[in-house]
Amino acid sequence: MTVLVASDLDRTLIYSAGALALTMPDARAPRLLCVEVHEARPLSFMTETAAALLTELADAAVFVPTTTRTRTQYNRINLPGPPARYAICANGGHLLVDGVTDRDWHASVQARLADECAPLAEITDHLRRASDPVWLRKQRVAEDLFAYLVVERELLPEEWVGELAGWAGERGWTVSLQGRKIYAVPQPLTKGAAVREVARRTGAELTLAAGDSHLDADLLLAADRGWRPGHGELADSGWGAPTVGAVAERGVLAGERITREFLRAARGAVVPARLPA
């Protein structure tokens, strides 16, 4: 049986130093493995146990890193185990096959965006005008597909994100607050659509998934079984679905627990009984 495992990365499987500080008391800190370095600085980590489990998972399933990161940002990550044959970047805008963008997939995504939602330029202009320099630190466009802001959370007015979400929703866009970043993403640009395409190509009979943010909800719903950690947008809002389990762990230990659940489910998968011809 072919099992596909599609997992969000940041704050699901891997954690920045800031995310570690928020969710992991020093007294219970596990041993960590650095999986991302940028400009000579270690940026992202997972537990050594999670790293070992992820390596084992490569023998039991097709593992597909699934992220909102750009391709450049994704390529900074050095996950344990063999290189992933498939990876999903830019929230589904780029499907990488052996590290190379599938141009047909990308063209189909661009066509949907042109037909179904307001243009990126309208969104970025609104973000520029509506943001306050008091709390805005950066405004960025990712892969010419979506935009995000880097903000000072403690200075950000509580109602601002909700107001932005209402405005963007009327134009076919989704807003997600993740740590210090506010994402504005076209509604047709989804991880779930890209995962379904990988499942089709691989002939997967069982799809497993994990994620922590509103941008991961469609990914979890596209899978046969899914998990979310005890932190993040989905946990904070109480989001759930019949096929999605909520693990109690928060932070980097949630990543370890989710990887363990992936491995257990993949190893327990069996080929469905077939009726006689």
Band of residue 18 on the pLDDT scale cut at 50, 70, 90: confident
Query: Taking all residues of the chain, what is their mean pLDDT, rounded to a whole number?
Result: 93
pLDDT tops 70 at residue 277? no
Residue 16 lies in a domain: yes
What CATH number has the domain bearing residue 250? 3.40.50.1000
Q: Cβ distance 81 to 55 under 8 Å?
A: yes
Q: Cβ distance 154 to 171 under 8 Å?
A: no
pTM of the model: 0.92
Same domain (yes/no): 194, 177: no
Residue 114 lies in a domain: no
Same domain (yes/no): 179, 194: no
Alpha helices (H) in the chain, listed in sequence order:
17-23, 48-57, 71-75, 103-116, 120-130, 160-169, 191-202, 217-222, 233-237, 252-268
3-state secondary structure of 195: helix
Q: Percentage of the chain with pLDDT > 70?
A: 94
Same domain (yes/no): 145, 72: no
Tokens of 224: 């046969």
Band of residue 29 on the pLDDT scale cut at 50, 70, 90: confident
Tokens of 23: 């969710």
Of 198, 215, 196, 91, which Cα lies nearest the Cα of 143? 91
pLDDT tens digits, one per residue of 156-209: 998 999 999 999 999 999 999 988 999 999 999 999 999 999 999 999 999 999
Same domain (yes/no): 225, 253: yes
